[in-house]
Structure 1
Amino acid sequence: MSKLVIQGTVLTPEDGDAYAAAIRRNSDLSQLPAKLVAQPVTYTDVVDIIAYAKSQTPPIEVAVKGGGAHPATWASSDGGIVVDLSKLKDVTVLTDKKSVVVQGGALWGDVYEVLSKEELDVVGSPLWFVGVGGYTLGGGYGPLSGTHGLAIDNLLSATVILADGRIVEASANSEPELFWAIRGGGGQFGLVVEFTFKLYPSSGPYGTGVIVYPGDEMENVIKVIQGWKAGQTPFERFTINFSRSAPHWKPSIVMLPWVAHDENGERSKTVLKPFLDGPIKPVFQRLATVPNMLVVSHGADASLGTAPRRLSIRGTLFSDFFPELLLGVWQRWVEFTEGNEDVRSSTVIWDLTSPKKLAEINVADTALKTRVPHYWMVVQGRSTTDASTPTANDFAKSITSYVREKNATLSGTDLGFFVNMAGGDEPPETVFGEQLPRLRRAKARYDPGNFWTKGFPIEPARD
């Protein structure tokens, strides 16, 4: 076998710690032993990597790693090549300060660090360690989605390297079908090495923090959520966690607020008043004002730093915070985490961001199938032992299926799943819906040989 030579770095298992660091992922379950880890420093390096992989007999599988946050093995390969984009992470604000160019290996923390100095915002992940690439290609729900929509709604153009080695620009005016496909269709069409996003003036400072209620107040918490949601604006949101924390491990409802334009904390006091001074009282609260999204994105560092690294994630969409839906999940989660201490760090997360902006884009304009107002939720199945890992995986899968089915019953609409929180074994129709035939035609046009197989699989159309 010939040797892969690029301007960047090529690592093999013989490279010890450097190789081990390169194949490490956010979840230990998504780490696989690659034959080679290629770290390009130029876009032509990527072209050479593709050519090398295709020249081998048989061709070698290629996986792409941006942030490596997805708990599936989509960014890893057992015996193949991983294109590790970590050295392609430049972030450049254009002179008019209306857009930013981000290389495909950047994390959202890299983006927020640059934008914090310019007092600018972009629609990105609530967590700094999430990669820009995978997050965006799957749709990109974030704290600013209430005001500005999804990441794909703010994508102006992208530089994509195709399986045949061509480097093309995808935008509304150049390769528009590719531009359509990568906005919600995942990474099945090419390797995106550069994104250009819209920018906005910062909506900080942000009110943030934690509000905790005991589990026996679950029904009352739901009532407060329902009342608060009726007056919610796009400038405030919650992440709601079902979790157990050491040392007592009792089931708790943890509310993580985000309040924009909170200059001195007064706006948070007003917005969050129903949760702080209403019919129920939190057992713990800590609120603060932070200057920008860089600080917000590091808010969960302490808790994530001690969480078990055997992590599986599944998520789905739902239409509304139906009490029956939340209580059904709560009861199942309490029972599951009560019975096995190896999995008691498993959590259920609900995102309460104003959904109106999501529906302003016509469903035909991007590959994302869901453009009615909706919310998303995710189950993190965490286990401390190998023996309990399948149990945690099955729980995450079963809860998301329950939410999908229960929501369909309560709302009359089956919203299915979405790429960023899928595992890869869901029926494609439930992830892409009516967009699937067009995505298959785009796959046939831009990757007819099905070179890009990692991620959620889309078969090329054969007609």
Structure 2
Amino acid sequence: MQCLRAIFPSKFALTFKPAKSELLSAKQQSSPPPTSMESLQIQGTILTPESGDAYAAALKRNSDLSSLPAKYVVQPAVFADIPPVLAYAASQKPPVEIAVKGGGAHSATWASSDGGIVIDLSKLNKVVLADDKQSISVQGGAYWGDVYEVTSKAQVDVVGSPLWFVGVGGFTLGGGFGPLTSEYGCAVDNLLSATVVLADGRIVKASKHEEPDLFWAIRGGGGQFGVVVEFVFKVYPPVGPISSGILAFPGTEIDKILAIIPEWKKTQTSRERFTMNFSRPAPHFKPSIAILPSVIHDTDGSRAQTVLAPFRDGDVKPVLDKVGSVPDMLTVSHAADAAMAAAPRRLVIRGTLFSDFFPELLKGVWDKWVAFTETSEEVRGSAVLWDLTLPDKMASVPAGETALKRQPYYWMAVQGRSTTDASVQACRDFTASVVQFVREKNAELAGQDMGWFLNMCQGHENPEDVFGENLTRLRKVKAKYDPTKVWSKGLVIEPLVE
């Protein structure tokens, strides 16, 4: 299991903290570019289609639809391996496309390249907790499972993903909404500093006091400004025990469930949250609603009993009620392993933001999802996810303090899963239509258009709909650090030269 890499760091990561020699200046990068990839003097590995199984393994992503046949896959062993790759790519005519792969969980092709170069950070995966347990340093190729292995052993916590196989890099650069966000804010709110390889080959530290414009941009602006090879996050005391599990209901109870949620939210605190899923579980594949709760600081389980009572003691009763105590986020992050292993790997994910859990909004999506998953067995693995994390802490950060938009909102995601190539386009069309419906219906009900959620975009969206009033500043930072658009995968931000 890849998350166990953190237990044996010496086997997988050949370096961690950047030595002075790795913080390279532009002057040090002024030597002639290499004439070929084969001539690069790097400590890491360069894979080509002729590399066989190793190359094939390096192309794999969370979704089979996200993999493209790169000409080269470079797996740096030290930070200084990356600048020569960038120099070579820039010297070609036309320049060679560069993609950066951290965890590879995104369902688009942002971490892949057809005929270009993929910088695969998988060997840069070391995680080190500071001696005072106040911060944790995480290399850019680590998964959150790698982080949780370390925090679990040390009995501390950090704001991260609910799933172990999500990469630290992409999750954080998009903002980082996780199970502890209601208590401690987003991942970007807990980022103390970062080490970034820039388009011109420099390796710099970014923080509120060093390269502050860059530090502002990478906190919610995505991977458009450099390769973040190290993150340093704030660490907290343990939030466990955590009450976690599942309450499952038949689809016939959808109206009752949706009526409970607005009342439930009135007493919600930062200690409890849940994810609600629309899915068709085996063996009967009937439409179902699953409430997946998470209650932190729940020493004896009594808090979970109280907050889940509305879903147990009223007119509606769960057909499956399995909620128990788990020690930490490492355990929580593996809760979906069995379901994920069985899910079709032709996966398209789209998502968006919404203002509130309006019953008519959710019911509209339910009806669309039920109708779509009844069209064919090939697409009945498709699902919808709604995240009910209290947004107050995230929204308390002043607007403009980070590139991440700041106002109260929630997020949702649509997973289009297909068992055949023939039905992939139907899944693409379905996911696109649902998120468009959510955006438009939310604007109608809330009187406010929330735009798109960066980490759930496909890349063709209007950047203004993602970044809002922060876009102009992001474009200026792009012009400062990447005027030639070396970083052109994902949601591309056009440089704005003043």
Which whole-Å deviations, capped at 9, do the CAs of 1:257-306 have from their partners, x for residues lacking one? 10111223332222211112222101111112110000100000000101
Match of 1:65 in 2: 101
Instruction: Tell me how far 1:8 sits from its aligned partner.
Output: 0.7
Measured in 2, the distance between the counterparts of 1:50 and 1:263 equals 51
Measured in 1, the distance between the counterparts of 2:311 and 2:149 equals 32
Match of 1:428 in 2: 463
Which whole-Å deviations, capped at 9, do the CAs of 1:64-86 have from their partners, x for residues lacking one? 00000000000000011111101
Match of 1:393 in 2: 428
**Counterpart of 1:406 in structure 2: which amino acid?**
K
Q: 1:309 aligns with which of 345, 349, 368?
A: 345
Measured in 1, the distance between the counterparts of 2:379 and 2:497 equals 44
Instruction: Tell me how far 1:171 sits from its aligned partner.
Output: 0.6
Measured in 2, the distance between the counterparts of 1:5 and 1:12 equals 16
Match of 1:284 in 2: 320
Which whole-Å deviations, capped at 9, do the CAs of 1:117-159 have from their partners, x for residues lacking one? 1111111000000000000000000000000110011111110
Which deviates more, 421-430 or 3-12? 3-12
Query: What SS does the aligned partner of 2:374 have?
Result: helix
Measured in 1, the distance between the counterparts of 2:478 and 2:102 equals 21
Which whole-Å deviations, capped at 9, do the CAs of 1:28-60 have from their partners, x for residues lacking one? 000000111110010100112111212223221
Match of 1:351 in 2: 387
Measured in 2, the distance between the counterparts of 1:126 and 1:247 equals 26
Instruction: Tell me how far 1:432 sits from its aligned partner.
Output: 1.0
Match of 1:375 in 2: 410
Query: What SS does the aligned partner of 1:339 have?
Result: coil
Match of 1:168 in 2: 204
Measured in 1, the distance between the counterparts of 2:467 and 2:265 equals 29
Task: Answer whether contact 2:249 2:317 (CA < 8 A) is retained.
Answer: yes
Measured in 1, the distance between the counterparts of 2:425 and 2:258 equals 31
Query: What SS does the aligned partner of 1:324 have?
Result: helix
Pair 1:330 & 2:366 matched: yes
Match of 1:226 in 2: 262
Match of 1:91 in 2: 127
Q: 2:397 aligns with which of 361, 364, 373?
A: 361
Match of 1:191 in 2: 227
Query: What SS does the aligned partner of 2:422 have?
Result: coil
Query: What SS does the aligned partner of 1:387 have?
Result: helix
Match of 2:8 in 1: none
Instruction: Tell me how far 1:96 sits from its aligned partner.
Output: 1.6
**Counterpart of 1:346 in structure 2: which amino acid?**
S
Which whole-Å deviations, capped at 9, do the CAs of 1:404-435 have from their partners, x for residues lacking one? 11001100111100211111111111111111
Measured in 2, the distance between the counterparts of 1:271 and 1:405 equals 31
Q: 1:12 aligns with which of 45, 48, 63?
A: 48
Pair 1:123 & 2:165 matched: no
Task: Answer whether contact 2:65 2:108 (CA < 8 A) is retained.
Answer: yes
Match of 2:288 in 1: 252
Match of 2:306 in 1: 270
Instruction: Tell me how far 1:6 sits from its aligned partner.
Output: 1.5
Measured in 2, the distance between the counterparts of 1:432 and 1:67 equals 23
**Counterpart of 2:173 in structure 1: which amino acid?**
L
**Counterpart of 2:487 in structure 1: which amino acid?**
W
Measured in 2, the distance between the counterparts of 1:50 and 1:336 equals 44
Query: What SS does the aligned partner of 2:390 have?
Result: coil
Query: Structure 1 runs of 4+ off > 3 angstroms?
Result: none
Q: 1:32 aligns with which of 68, 71, 77?
A: 68
Measured in 2, the distance between the counterparts of 1:267 and 1:365 equals 34
Instruction: Tell me how far 1:364 sits from its aligned partner.
Output: 0.9
Q: 1:403 aligns with which of 414, 431, 438?
A: 438
Identity %: 64
**Counterpart of 2:119 in structure 1: which amino acid?**
V
**Counterpart of 1:61 in structure 2: which amino acid?**
E
What's the TM-score, normalizing by structure 2?
0.92
Measured in 1, the distance between the counterparts of 2:151 and 2:453 equals 28
Query: What SS does the aligned partner of 1:220 have?
Result: helix
Match of 1:75 in 2: 111
**Counterpart of 2:287 in structure 1: which amino acid?**
P
How many residue pairs match? The answer is 462
Task: Answer whether contact 2:411 2:453 (CA < 8 A) is retained.
Answer: no
**Counterpart of 2:217 in structure 1: which amino acid?**
A
Query: What SS does the aligned partner of 1:74 have?
Result: coil
Instruction: Tell me how far 1:169 sits from its aligned partner.
Output: 0.8
**Counterpart of 1:425 in structure 2: which amino acid?**
H
Pair 1:182 & 2:218 matched: yes
Measured in 2, the distance between the counterparts of 1:427 and 1:267 equals 43
Match of 1:443 in 2: 478
Unmatched runs of 5 consecutive residues or more in structure 2: 1-34
Which deviates more, 165-174 or 270-279? 270-279
Match of 2:14 in 1: none
Unmatched runs of 5 consecutive residues or more in structure 1: none
**Counterpart of 1:208 in structure 2: which amino acid?**
S
Query: What SS does the aligned partner of 1:120 have?
Result: coil
**Counterpart of 2:163 in structure 1: which amino acid?**
L
Q: 2:487 aligns with which of 449, 452, 460?
A: 452
Which deviates more, 336-345 or 293-302? 336-345
Task: Answer whether contact 2:349 2:413 (CA < 8 A) is retained.
Answer: yes
What's the TM-score, normalizing by structure 1?
0.98
Which deviates more, 232-241 or 256-265? 256-265
Instruction: Tell me how far 1:173 sits from its aligned partner.
Output: 0.4
Measured in 1, the distance between the counterparts of 2:316 and 2:117 equals 54
Measured in 1, the distance between the counterparts of 2:77 and 2:314 equals 55
Instruction: Tell me how far 1:462 sits from its aligned partner.
Output: 3.7
